[in-house]
Amino acid sequence: MDSIDDFKGLKIRGKGRNPLEMMKRLGAAPVGAPGIKSFELLSNGVVDVTMIPFGPAMNLGLVGHVPEITTLPGGFFRPGFAIVMNQEAFDELDEAAQKVLIETAGSKLAERIGAIMDAEDTKGIAVFEKAGSTITAASDELIMAIKEKTAFVEDGWLENATKRGVDGAAALSYFREKAASAK
């Protein structure tokens, strides 16, 4: 993909309200489906493009079937992951199990999962390249055009934060700083 115009009319698989709306605003025809359906949708011509990290793409059988790949720094979007437990269920665990959960969750678990995902993506890039896929980094112009068309996501987040009495700009700056230092 060389320019924002390349999105026009493309049927792109994605999942989630914001990613699908982002694709629509880029001029694409979004197709809502889970990543696990990528091979089926691509091979049957239902979609032209799937947006998926390299690790899952590799593990879902897309190697050898995707001749061209365009990458964006930081990805097009990233889902959030959380481990949530009802307080009553936690209280029913024995003390040793509670201790294990407390010691292994939070930032330690996030770092571990992030490292696994990064390693899978690194491996996936090598596997796709070896299979003959052309991997191209998006140009600065394309990145800026995408950011302009998809700014509504951040704008909406900041607006919601303000409604809740949170300094959204400060929070966003904090999260970006943490993400940058984790690399």
Mean pLDDT throughout 54-66? 95
Please give the mean pLDDT across all residues of the chain.
92
Range 79-111 burial, b when 16+ CB lie within 10 A, else e: eeeeeeeeeeeeeeeeeeeeeeeeeeeeeeeee
pTM of the model: 0.80
| In the chain, ranges of CATH 3.40.190.170 domains | 4-149
Q: Give the CA distances from residue 109 to residues 7, 83, 172, 174, 175, in Å, rounded to whole numbers and listed in that order.
A: 36, 10, 22, 20, 17
Q: Please compute the mean of the pLDDT values over residues 142-159 and round it to a whole number.
A: 94
- pLDDT band at 76; cut points 50, 70, 90: confident
Token pair for 151: 């700014």
Assigned fold of 4-149:
D-Maltodextrin-Binding Protein; domain 2 (3.40.190)
| Mean pLDDT, rounded, for 93-108 | 91
More confidently predicted of 181 and 118? 118
